[in-house]
Amino acid sequence: MPLASRSYMPAGGPGLRGGGPTLTVLVGVHGSDRARTRRASVTAPSPIRGTGTIDTGAGTTGVDERVMVALGVAPDGVTRRGTANGTKELNRYAVTVFVPDISLTISLRAAVGVRIAEQGVIVLIGRDVLSRMLFVYNGRQGRIDLAF
Amino acid sequence: MEDVRSNVPTGGPRSAASLRQWGPAVDVAVMVHRREAAAVVAAGRAVAPPVAGRAIIDTGSSTTAISFDTAARLRLDPVGEMEVGTGTDIVRAPTFAFSIAFTALETTLDFESAPGLPVARPGQVAIVGRDVLAGALFSYDGPRGVASLEFKGGPPERHA
């Protein structure tokens, strides 16, 4: 089982408490969309790099809507989700999220579109992904461990 | 303080599916801030009873929050307001002073000014954010459907 650890130093950064359990991510089109663009002899857009947060409060992984627009990916439906700000209707997308630090590729058919770029992140990694992982959050040491 | 540890109930039979659906939730009682409660009692008035329910442990939230419904049941007045990132957007939320008792951990924490949010899920009275997790060891085992929360060496002394 691959294991990855990351420590968050408060000095020079927000630390684990301020910035959350973040990882560098690359967001790209889903494999099915990539195949479609290949058949149409169109170049698939390059993945977009940003920050993802591991979010145990999110049942479904969320991707910033503007990233999906930049990738040219249209929503394939709408879903209702309970959030900390009440129940919302959110766009649903097929998307691939790559986490380079741990060489993890996550292929999602039903991520939800959210507006989170103002918070400095483009992906909220939710419990649909965490259902395949062991995640340990050590607040006192400012460190996380992931096994998957 | 000795280490305290709790396996986190997930709102039903423990399974990977229930942990995924309901999230890592811990039993809590939200109450009027202990300092305010003492003042109310000293003045000969009745304090609103604690509101028991579940709190979701949310590593995506920088701050602990309570539901609007809980704040109303405790008859709390706002003490300020703050911007909160909710996962779908950023909102301006009123803040309240309150205390949260973590039932299985035999630990009570005081919050001087933490937000209230329109939490939609029935039975959920609070969100436990990274301000509390800063003093905790939290593990989430998705395949086994088990989560645990531990305040190693005791919880942090102060909160928002």
Mean pLDDT of B50-60: 95
Chain A stretch 22-51, residues whose beta carbon is closer than 8 A to a beta carbon of chain B: none
A82 C-beta neighbours (distance < 10 Å), count: 14
Q: Is A143 among the domain residues?
A: no
pLDDT at A61: 96
pLDDT at A119: 87
Query: B22 in the Ramachandran plot: left (φ > 0), alpha (ψ -120 to 50) or beta?
Result: alpha
Supply φ then ψ for residue B8, to 5 degrees: -90, 115
Cβ(B81)–Cβ(B92) below 8 Å: yes
Mean pLDDT of B129-155: 87
- pLDDT: which is higher, B14 or A130: A130
Tens-digit pLDDT profile for residues B97-127: 999 999 888 889 999 999 999 887 888 999 9
Cβ(B27)–Cβ(B149) below 8 Å: no
pLDDT at B23: 92
Cβ(A32)–Cβ(B58) below 8 Å: no
If you count residue pairs, one on A and one on B, with CB atoms under 8 Å apart, how many are there?
A: 143
Q: Is A58 among the domain residues?
A: yes
Supply φ then ψ for residue B72, to 5 degrees: -70, -40
Structure tokens at B88: 């779908």
User: Smallest Cα–Cα separation from B49: which of B39, B37, B66?
Assistant: B37
Q: Is A147 among the domain residues?
A: no
Q: Is A95 among the domain residues?
A: yes
Q: Is A107 among the domain residues?
A: yes
pTM of this structure: 0.89
Which residues does chain B have within 8 Å of residue A55's beta carbon, measured at their own beta carbons?
58-60, 87
CA–CA distance, A144 with A4 (Å, rounded to integer): 8
pLDDT at B10: 44
Whether the CB of A118 is below 8 Å from some CB of chain B: the reply is: yes
B4 falls in which pLDDT band (50, 70, 90)? very low
Tens-digit pLDDT profile for residues A68-106: 999 999 999 998 887 777 788 899 999 999 999 888 999
Mean pLDDT of B22-51: 94
Lowest mean pLDDT among A76-90, B4-18, B53-67, B81-95: B4-18
Domain limits, chain B: 29-138
CA–CA distance, A15 with A143 (Å, rounded to integer): 9
Round the average pLDDT of chain B to a whole number and report it.
Answer: 86
pLDDT at A12: 58
Mean pLDDT of B129-133: 93
Round the average pLDDT of chain A to a whole number and report it.
Answer: 89
B1 falls in which pLDDT band (50, 70, 90)? very low
Q: Is A26 among the domain residues?
A: yes
pLDDT at A41: 67
Q: Is A53 among the domain residues?
A: yes
Whether the CB of A55 is below 8 Å from some CB of chain B: the reply is: yes
> CA neighbours within 13 Å on the CB side: how many for A24?
7
Inter-chain residue contact A131 with B62, CB threshold 8 Å:
no
> CA neighbours within 13 Å on the CB side: how many for B84?
26
Instruction: Say yes or no to pLDDT of A36 above 60.
Output: yes
Which CATH number fits the domain that encloses residue A39?
Answer: 2.40.70.10
Instruction: Say yes or no to pLDDT of B152 above 80.
Output: no
Name the residue among A17, A56, A128 with its Cβ closest to that of B57: A56
User: Smallest Cα–Cα separation from A127: which of B54, B100, B87?
Assistant: B87
Structural domain including A110 reads 21-131
Q: Is A46 among the domain residues?
A: yes
Instruction: Say yes or no to pLDDT of A4 above 90.
Output: no
Task: Tell me how many domains chain A contains.
Answer: 1
Supply φ then ψ for residue A44, to 5 degrees: -70, 145
Please provide the CATH number assigned to the domain covering B29-138: 2.40.70.10
Name the residue among A88, A132, A139 with its Cβ closest to that of B135: A139
